[in-house]
Structure 1
């Protein structure tokens, strides 16, 4: 395990960082479960300066809980929230891949994305966005979720060729904070719709505008409202002077120009009415590349970066865990030990079936009556080691049914020779008789132990003797 790795709560291990933004740092993480189960996750750690602010944390947590209600393959949703002291973490599925921002910045050839590839990625994002806009609470009440921070940094292009939207829940917190924390959303101004810049609410139309700005940038290779200063960027957004992408990139068709420009209309009423409507028009204007083509483009542009990331994940996945017992595993206790012990051999089970028939024919109902009174004594005489093992292990467990205590431990222990000189085979038969007794009745009720005088006068721990041919001759006094 790397030096930076440590336990977070009972179920997670914090690994190396993958990326850092204005509000949080994303780390590799490992989710732990019972029986050695684990899986790789992404842990987003809120920066310390925000973790200490109660108002920020409360807003962050409230919206993270709402965002967790989104379930769509193109949305990387929040799976859990963990607090460790003053630290706050969001747990998300780990998706191998890179952000669209990283892809365009790290491309080995040019920063532009081919129209078919851009269409495929944005269609996935719009489908996830539509699912969020239409999400409802358990009682059917619309949640009216709006992302508010659609940007290349928040679009993940997976190694499987699918585009995904990330950071639901975090976005609204960032939007609320932008008016009180100077510089918090620096860099996201490029994708804000004009109505939000002017102080109005950010609604569905605002998300459509931001998605259009991302598509324009992917096609052209630079932000649509790029300028030297924030003031200049703001002025360009408010003026709304947007040129068609084809003016900078001839491979963009006129039909695709029209789709992008409609998404970037200055007036919210003139834009696509929904993410679904935007997606339908985009699919016609620029048929999307298949996932295999997106994967190939991803490998071509950022292959070395992806390989480095994969190696980092593999190293973290196989690293040893810290030497601290997880409560999830510690709670298994003796139950886990019993379940992982070697199973009885097949021929022993078959031999036990033969013994069962012999016992029923020879002893009949009288034997079962004797077993009900002296089962524990008989088991003690034939398999003392197995009985001791059962007692130690069952005591360590939560209270178990008598059937489990009688059968499970003894079944995996080899039979011991009896005190009366019986053969190993006879001991095995006696052991199987104990199993029969346990199965043939409901769980035994507690009963008082026989007195010392009774044991001395009548010892039926072995209720038979063997004749010269090895046949069992049952004692009359033990069959009463």
Structure 2
């Protein structure tokens, strides 16, 4: 394998994958100022140099590059540009550090571990957003009719920082393609083909939704759905045989999730979920959707592949970055391809429906600042539409994404929402400016558990900021760092408390074997716990508790003392408890360990619980400080007064004694 490609612009680091027709390489890119692409790691896809049908494969790869360059969405792998090496095309793509779902499901099957339902729903929702963008891709108002045709676990990628990407549009087919598929040849992975695909019929976006349904079923069950010993049996299973419910293998799946999965696997196109937008809407209506904002896909994946995550993050830090004038669309956005507008061209804004209503509310505000009309700005997010709305302006349309994307003029979407805006309506400047960001800028600032565009905050007084707090058009993303720390702190706190209590119950309870006696000035003996408590430790003598011999007043000869009577008097005086304390430092630390572990657990809970229960920053900080102070005070009290198996520092400070001034009764 050649170490240098394209005249030294690329230095091969290693091969990532190889198939029968091409290979995928991790390369070091020298950087290109004209392309606004920094130096760093990129991924290059190329034809195998020694392939017997190299020219045809090169044409197919050029077609893939032509299509991929139009796909700019957060949930689609990004293609930077297409280069050449020895006359063959090189597709240069972003480097993703993570794992394909095929690797995740392979590990899950091997370990017999299920993917959590909320994680599976978050994955499907992100994939549906990416596919919807590809399916609705247009070129100057003309739909491209792009179908992926190979949606499968191998082509759904999750990164260690929590992004979800649909990859590999090498089998995708666009209506404007100059490459024609040979009649009778199926392209795609057989086990994920829709029935109409397997029969060679005309495909629609619903074919990709079927494939996504198969992937959904397998993600829930960690098993293959259509896996037979022969292709004919697989095709028969896809086309005719009953499809088992996911609950046959995993009974704990909620009923609504099972119904959604089976709707994706409807053979009747009239019953199947037709588009990615429809799937997103169905997911958002599920009761389980309430937990999706808290799903930390990056933390979940890193937990399954901890060693690979550390290496992957280091490589991702050296990935090449593209500085774009055009922002990357996020969420449910309709695709639009263009030839690259000039800097002077004003982009059509694509924002969430709630953000639009807030902007309209601002447009309807009187000069005095009092809103007039219906008060759209106060509508609850649950009552707001998420389908596209019309601005009433030529070439301007609104979809349910949160970021802007320049598009070519097209027919306005029909709207039944009754937004009566004048043709010259202009959105407020803060709305126009807040939605745009270059790709190399910080993608988002997190406020209140939601992702907001750089430069804005959820506490701002602008209509866009207020709308962004309430919008349900795009699934809000939690602060991955805070969420990960909070969940980890909660888990550690509960485990630490359980371990501390368990160690305390398991700790052995020691009884003293002997005490020490010294003679008082009045002639009787005084018993103490250790020799150091005697005025002259060197002269203290040891007294066995099991067979005590002591000197009593007016009786200079030592006499035997009843052990049970002596024990009662030692317990009453406190000498027994003090003598029970371990004499060595190692044994003392063993008694202290349960208290320390439990104390760390309390501190971890005090730190993590406010982050999970409170959304606003100020109350969270106050609650955290109060709980940390309370946990610290409880820990200090336990150390001093004693708790669990630890007798307390007070017990070591005490010097109890028992004076034998009278004979036993």
TM range (shorter): 0.5 to 0.7
Equivalent position of 2:11 in the other structure: 13
Aligned residue runs from structure 1 range 372-451, under 5 A: none
Q: Distance in 1 between matches of 2:38 and 2:215?
A: 39
Equivalent position of 2:226 in the other structure: 225
Equivalent position of 2:29 in the other structure: 31
Q: Are the equivalent residues in 2 in contact too, given 1:60–1:170 (CA < 8 A)? A: no
Q: Are the equivalent residues in 1 in contact too, given 2:78–2:93 (CA < 8 A)? A: yes
Q: Are the equivalent residues in 2 in contact too, given 1:244–1:261 (CA < 8 A)? A: yes
Q: Distance in 2 between matches of 1:79 and 1:34?
A: 11
Q: Distance in 1 between matches of 2:152 and 2:169?
A: 12
Q: Distance in 2 between matches of 1:191 and 1:162?
A: 23
Q: Are the equivalent residues in 2 in contact too, given 1:52–1:86 (CA < 8 A)? A: no
Name the one with the larger helix percent.
Answer: 1
SS at structure 2 position matched to 1:121: helix
Q: Which residue of the other structure, out of 292, 296, 299, is the alignment partner of 1:296?
A: 299
Equivalent position of 1:109 in the other structure: 111
Q: CA RMSD in A?
A: 3.0
Aligned residue runs from structure 1 range 70-219, under 5 A: 70-85=71-86, 87-107=88-108, 109-110=111-112, 112-137=114-139, 139-172=140-173, 176=181, 179=184, 185=188, 188-219=189-220
Q: Distance in 1 between matches of 2:183 and 2:302?
A: 36
What is the Cα deviation at residue 122 of structure 1? 1.2
CA 1:114–1:292: 2 relative to 1, 3 Å: closer
Q: Distance in 1 between matches of 2:310 and 2:270?
A: 45
Please give the per-residue CA displacement for 1:334-380, whole angstroms capped at 9, x wherever unaligned: xxxxxxxxxxxxxxxxxxxxxxxxxxxxxxxxxxxxxxxxxxxxxxx
SS at structure 2 position matched to 1:176: coil
Equivalent position of 1:46 in the other structure: 47
Q: Distance in 2 between matches of 1:276 and 1:77?
A: 21
SS at structure 1 position matched to 2:143: coil
Q: Distance in 2 between matches of 1:61 and 1:28?
A: 19
Q: Which moved more, 1:162-171 or 1:118-127?
A: 162-171
Structure 1 runs not aligned, ≥5 long: 318-480
Please give the per-residue CA displacement for 1:101-143, whole angstroms capped at 9, x wherever unaligned: 1112134733531111111111111001101111111x22111
1:69 pairs with 2:67 = no
Q: Are the equivalent residues in 2 in contact too, given 1:106–1:302 (CA < 8 A)? A: no
What is the Cα deviation at residue 49 of structure 1? 5.7
CA 1:82–1:175: 2 relative to 1, 3 Å: same
What is the Cα deviation at residue 73 of structure 1? 0.6
CA 1:4–1:15: 2 relative to 1, 3 Å: farther
SS at structure 2 position matched to 1:171: coil
Equivalent position of 1:58 in the other structure: 59
What is the Cα deviation at residue 254 of structure 1? 0.8
Provide TM-score, normalisation by structure 1.
0.59
Q: Distance in 2 between matches of 1:34 and 1:65?
A: 20
CA 1:246–1:274: 2 relative to 1, 3 Å: same
Q: Are the equivalent residues in 2 in contact too, given 1:121–1:162 (CA < 8 A)? A: no
Q: Distance in 1 between matches of 2:85 and 2:5?
A: 9
Q: Distance in 1 between matches of 2:16 and 2:41?
A: 13
What is the Cα deviation at residue 240 of structure 1? 4.3
CA 1:121–1:177: 2 relative to 1, 3 Å: farther
CA 1:11–1:292: 2 relative to 1, 3 Å: farther
Number of residue-to-residue matches in the alignment:
310
What is the Cα deviation at residue 31 of structure 1? 2.3
CA 1:316–1:279: 2 relative to 1, 3 Å: closer
SS at structure 2 position matched to 1:91: strand
Q: Are the equivalent residues in 2 in contact too, given 1:42–1:94 (CA < 8 A)? A: yes
CA 1:34–1:122: 2 relative to 1, 3 Å: closer
Equivalent position of 1:420 in the other structure: none
Q: Are the equivalent residues in 2 in contact too, given 1:133–1:145 (CA < 8 A)? A: yes
What is the Cα deviation at residue 290 of structure 1? 4.2
What is the Cα deviation at residue 260 of structure 1? 0.7
What is the Cα deviation at residue 154 of structure 1? 0.4
SS at structure 1 position matched to 2:27: strand
